[in-house]
Amino acid sequence: MEKESQLGGFQGNVQKIATFPYKGTEDNDLEALIQEVTQNEKIKVYTGAKVDKTIGGPGVFEATISQNGTTAAHRIGAIVLAAGWQPYDPDKLDEKLGFGASPNVITNVMFEESFNGGKIGRPSDGKDVTNVAFLQCAGQRDPDHLPYCSSMCCVTALKQALQIKAQNVDANVFVVYKEMRTPGQSEDLYLKAQEEGITFIRCQSPEVKVSDESLAVEAEDELLGEAVLMENLDMVVLATGMVPVTAFGMDITQEEKKKDEEEAKKGEEDLDDIPLDVIRRSELLNLEYRQGPELPALRYDFPDSHFICFPYESRRTGIYPAGCVRRPMGIATAQEDAAGAVMKAIQCIELTSNGAAVHPRSGDMTFPEFAMQRCTQCKRCTVECPFGAINEDEEANPLPQITRCRRCGVCMGACPERIISFKNYSVQMIGAMIKAINVPEEDEEKPRILVLACENDAYAALDMAGINRMKYNAWIRVIPLRCLGSMNLVWIADSLSKGIDGIILLGCKHGDDYQCHFVKGSELADIRLSKVSETLDRLALESERVRFETVSIIDYDRLPAVLDEFAETIDEVGPNPFKGW
Q: Smallest distance from the beta carbon of 519 to other proteins, in angstroms?
A: 14
Q: Does 482 bind other proteins (CB under 8 A)?
A: no
Instruction: Among 280, 316, 380, 517, indicate the residue that binds other proteins (CB under 8 A).
Output: 517
Instruction: Among 251, 256, 294, 337, indicate the residue that binds other proteins (CB under 8 A).
Output: 337
Site for other proteins in 389-418 (CB under 8 A): none
Count of all residues that appear for the chain in the document: 581
Q: Does 511 bind other proteins (CB under 8 A)?
A: no
Strand pairing report for 199-202 and 319-321: unpaired
CB closer to other proteins, 303 vs 575: 303
**CA distance to 52, 250, 388, 485, per residue, from 292 (Å):** 14, 11, 8, 21
What is the greatest pairwise CA distance in the chain? 97
Contact 398, 382 (CB under 8 A): yes
Instruction: Among 89, 179, 261, 272, indicate the residue that binds other proteins (CB under 8 A).
Output: 179
Q: For the chain, how far is it from start to end, CA to CA, in angstroms? A: 65
CB closer to other proteins, 277 vs 555: 555
The contact pattern for other proteins, residues 138-177, with x = CB under 8 A and - = no contact, is ---x-----xxxxx--------------------x-x---
Q: Does 339 bind other proteins (CB under 8 A)?
A: yes
Q: Smallest distance from the beta carbon of 305 to other proteins, in angstroms?
A: 8
Q: Does 223 bind other proteins (CB under 8 A)?
A: yes
Q: Does 359 bind other proteins (CB under 8 A)?
A: yes
Q: Is 99 left (phi over 0), alpha (psi -120 to 50) or beta?
A: beta
Q: Does 226 bind other proteins (CB under 8 A)?
A: yes
Spatial separation of the C-alpha atoms in residues 152 and 109, rounded to whole Å: 12
Q: Does 45 bind other proteins (CB under 8 A)?
A: no
Q: Smallest distance from the beta carbon of 185 to other proteins, in angstroms?
A: 5
Query: Closest Cα partner for 59 from 427, 369, 345?
Result: 345
Q: Does 534 bind other proteins (CB under 8 A)?
A: no
Which range in 255-263, 354-362, 419-427, 473-481 contacts other proteins by CB under 8 A?
A: 354-362
Q: Smallest distance from the beta carbon of 172 to other proteins, in angstroms?
A: 5
Spatial separation of the C-alpha atoms in residues 314 and 337, rounded to whole Å: 13
Instruction: Among 124, 185, 428, 533, indicate the residue that binds other proteins (CB under 8 A).
Output: 185
Site for other proteins in 539-578 (CB under 8 A): 552-554, 556-557
Which range in 217-225, 270-278, 365-373, 431-439 contacts other proteins by CB under 8 A?
A: 217-225
Spatial separation of the C-alpha atoms in residues 315 and 294, rounded to whole Å: 10
Query: Closest Cα partner for 505 from 461, 548, 544?
Result: 548
Q: Does 509 bind other proteins (CB under 8 A)?
A: yes
Contact 384, 488 (CB under 8 A): no
Instruction: Among 13, 66, 253, 333, indicate the residue that binds other proteins (CB under 8 A).
Output: 333
Site for other proteins in 265-304 (CB under 8 A): 298-300, 302
Instruction: Among 182, 253, 397, 473, indicate the residue that binds other proteins (CB under 8 A).
Output: 182
> Which residues pair with residue 321 across a beta bridge?
81
Query: Closest Cα partner for 404 from 345, 366, 358?
Result: 358
Q: Smallest distance from the beta carbon of 532 to other proteins, in angstroms?
A: 27
Q: Smallest distance from the beta carbon of 145 to other proteins, in angstroms?
A: 12
CB closer to other proteins, 69 vs 183: 183
Q: Smallest distance from the beta carbon of 333 to other proteins, in angstroms?
A: 7
Q: How many residues bind other proteins (CB under 8 A)?
A: 91
3-class DSSP string for 120-164: CECCCCCCECCEEEEECCCCECCCCCECCCCCCHHHHHHHHHHHH
Spatial separation of the C-alpha atoms in residues 309 and 277, rounded to whole Å: 22
296-308 b/e (C-beta count within 10 Å ≥ 16 → b): bbbebbbbbbbbe
Q: Does 230 bind other proteins (CB under 8 A)?
A: yes
How much is the CA Rg of the chain, to the nearest whole Å?
Answer: 29
Instruction: Among 145, 165, 344, 510, indicate the residue that binds other proteins (CB under 8 A).
Output: 344
276 DSSP 8-state letter: P
Q: Does 309 bind other proteins (CB under 8 A)?
A: yes
Contact 307, 508 (CB under 8 A): no
